[in-house]
Structure 1
Amino acid sequence: MRRLLIALATTMGLFASPVAAEPREDTSDSEVCEGCKALLELAISNPRRKEDRARDVYRHPGETLAFFRVQPNMKVGEYAPGGGWYSRLLGLYLGKQGNLVGLFFNPVSGAFDEKRQAGIRADAARFPQDVSGWTGIPADRFAALTLDAVPEAEKGSYDRILIIRMMHNLFRWNIADSEIKAMREMLKPGGMIGIVDHRAKPDAAFAAADGSTGYVRQADVIKFMEVNGFDLVDQSEVNANPKDSTDWPNGVWTLPPSYALKDQDRAKYAAVGESDRMTLLFRKRT
């Protein structure tokens, strides 16, 4: 993966003058979903999200999901759900009409030791019950799988897959190629992937933008997705944060909510807020 990005950056001139690709004009999926906005607002304001709501000011979940054109009757894969911040909202939004499926790392991709492999499988097995507990919706409304064992019936069945603050890890663990390939096979023809991730400065050195600090260059993500069979549909600044200089001592994890330096200069980092983030929507190329 690292070699691929270096080659792309060299041949496409990304090191010298990174330029974001222009979104392709797209109207095939832009019709207004009647009632979607109201249902999304109901999910966002649900009392079960009271502990999560403090992060809304940084993560703009309503605007982000609307930008990704997520509708409540869709089949949506959430890649690497982690602590469940987005899972709780997606479960509330999709749980009655749609399908939320947790998509977990391929445990045997080479990035994980045996203990972590077992943990990934356990997380996937527990995901439906976790979302049920968070939302009050029966667990059989939710599902999960690991990307080493995608059933044939799941391929070509997803309307959307969301990759939230995870591309940088795929790059630094050298598993982006295989994971994106698996997800591409799961999408319907014309299905879309929505990506949110920590954004490096356009002219950042590769060593500071290869995912190891948590940041990646937007132009590199766009080019990577294009090489892997996707077209850029649109890009948004809804999750931008101009206060983020991106050069923190412990990378992006210096900022909230991680606060890697704990109480050291905590007020300073709290004033910055969460990271500057790209928000990109890609369509599977047929």
Structure 2
Amino acid sequence: MRRAILLLSAFAFAAPSVTAAAQTAPAQTKAIKAEIAAAVASPLRDKDKARDQYRRPAETLEFFQVAPDMKVGEYAPGGEWYSRLLGLYLGPKGKLVGLYFDPTSGAFSEAAQKGIRDGAAKYPADVAAASGLPAERFSAMTLEKLPDAEKGTFDRILVMRMMHNLLRWNIADREIKAMRELLKPGGMIGIEQHRAKPDAPYSYTDGSKGYLREADVIKFMEVNGFTYVGKSEANANKKDPANWEGGVWTLPPMLRGAKEEDKARLQAIGESDRMTLLFRKRP
């Protein structure tokens, strides 16, 4: 049985938030779920499927209410694991846009700025190669200067395991503000993020260890013009104590600094415990 999703009705946009008492409701119609399942099961993803057990992409996309004809931005695509799946799912009827850091934010060296711009430039070709669809079906841009034509046109933006970097680099406010400008009225941001324990100290949850407190992320988004819609436990992992001295990177897939004799134990724990949160743009 899939893990419970705490969410108001997918179309009840007037409600301000979800509480623990909210009823569980399906995030998508059966037809859309079937399209997500088909994309997840595609043989073109054979090299990526090993991580599905940790990232639960079908449940996550259903919770974020991502329909196949939507315009969706993936923020900071990085290794493009989710991009390859989203390309398969959105490519035929929707639009996938890679959203890259504002390279002029002050958080990046000259070499890093070039890397950001280069990443955005090659993104459409990367997703095209992974999906077998034309590169024209995909696009990318940095958040440096938002084209007027792009503002207010996105149905969804996904921020996958990246909030900790935005906070520790002190660029979260400006990046989230830019994403908010891109969203349509009522558009939503889905956030997946390594989750600290509720009582973890700030010294551990300032982003430097990869883990953030769920309540802090919710408050941050509310302050920045979003309404909290709800949460899913699809990416929860109770085996993760979330207190690694070396941060989240101690766990798979990185196993940073792990001794050979510890790797089997860490692999058995799996990837990090993660919050999966949904927010709607306020007027």
TM-score w.r.t. length of structure 2: 0.91
- 1:270 aligns to what? 267
Counterpart selection for 1:28 from 12, 37, 40: 12
- 1:240 aligns to what? 236
Counterpart selection for 2:117 from 87, 101, 121: 121
Counterpart selection for 1:231 from 217, 227, 242: 227
Q: Secondary structure at the match of 1:189?
A: strand
**Residue identity opposite 2:240 in structure 1:** D
Compute the displacement of 1:235 (Å): 0.5
Q: Secondary structure at the match of 1:112?
A: coil
Compute the displacement of 1:249 (Å): 2.7
Residues 212-227 of structure 1 correspond to what in structure 2 (within 5 A)? 212-227=208-223
Let me know the Cα RMSD of the aligned residues: 1.6
Q: Deviations over 1:130-158 (max 9, x none)?
A: 00011111000000000002110000000
- 1:187 aligns to what? 183
- Once residues 164 and 109 of structure 1 are traced to their aligned partners in structure 2, the CA distance between those partners, rounded to angstroms, is 20
Q: Deviations over 1:85-109 (max 9, x none)?
A: 0000000000000000000000010
Q: Secondary structure at the match of 1:40?
A: helix
Compute the displacement of 1:194 (Å): 0.1
Q: Deviations over 1:145-183 (max 9, x none)?
A: 000021100000000000000001001100000000000
Residues 1-286 of structure 1 correspond to what in structure 2 (within 5 A)? 27-28=11-12, 32-33=28-29, 35-264=31-260, 265-286=262-283
Compute the displacement of 1:81 (Å): 0.3
Native 8 Å contact 2:84 2:127 kept in 1? yes
Compute the displacement of 1:268 (Å): 1.3
**Residue identity opposite 1:221 in structure 2:** V
Moved over 2 A (4+): 22-34
- Once residues 255 and 81 of structure 2 are traced to their aligned partners in structure 1, the CA distance between those partners, rounded to angstroms, is 17
- Once residues 255 and 79 of structure 1 are traced to their aligned partners in structure 2, the CA distance between those partners, rounded to angstroms, is 23
Compute the displacement of 1:68 (Å): 0.2
**Against the structure 1 CA distance between its residues 251 and 31, is the aligned structure 2 distance closer, same or farther, given a 3 Å change threshold?**
closer
Compute the displacement of 1:27 (Å): 3.6
Q: Secondary structure at the match of 1:37?
A: helix
Native 8 Å contact 2:250 2:256 kept in 1? yes
TM-score w.r.t. length of structure 1: 0.90
Q: Deviations over 1:218-266 (max 9, x none)?
A: 0000000000000000111110001111111311000000110254311
Compute the displacement of 1:23 (Å): 7.4
Identify the range of structure 1 (68-77 vs 24-33) with the bigger mean alpha-carbon deviation.
Answer: 24-33
% of aligned pairs identical? 62
**Against the structure 1 CA distance between its residues 49 and 24, is the aligned structure 2 distance closer, same or farther, given a 3 Å change threshold?**
closer
- Once residues 151 and 226 of structure 1 are traced to their aligned partners in structure 2, the CA distance between those partners, rounded to angstroms, is 25
Identify the range of structure 1 (31-40 vs 80-89) with the bigger mean alpha-carbon deviation.
Answer: 31-40
Q: Secondary structure at the match of 1:35?
A: helix
Native 8 Å contact 1:23 1:232 kept in 2? no
The unaligned stretches of length 5 or more in structure 2 are 1-5, 14-25
Q: Deviations over 1:67-121 (max 9, x none)?
A: 0000000000000000010000000000000000000000010110000000000
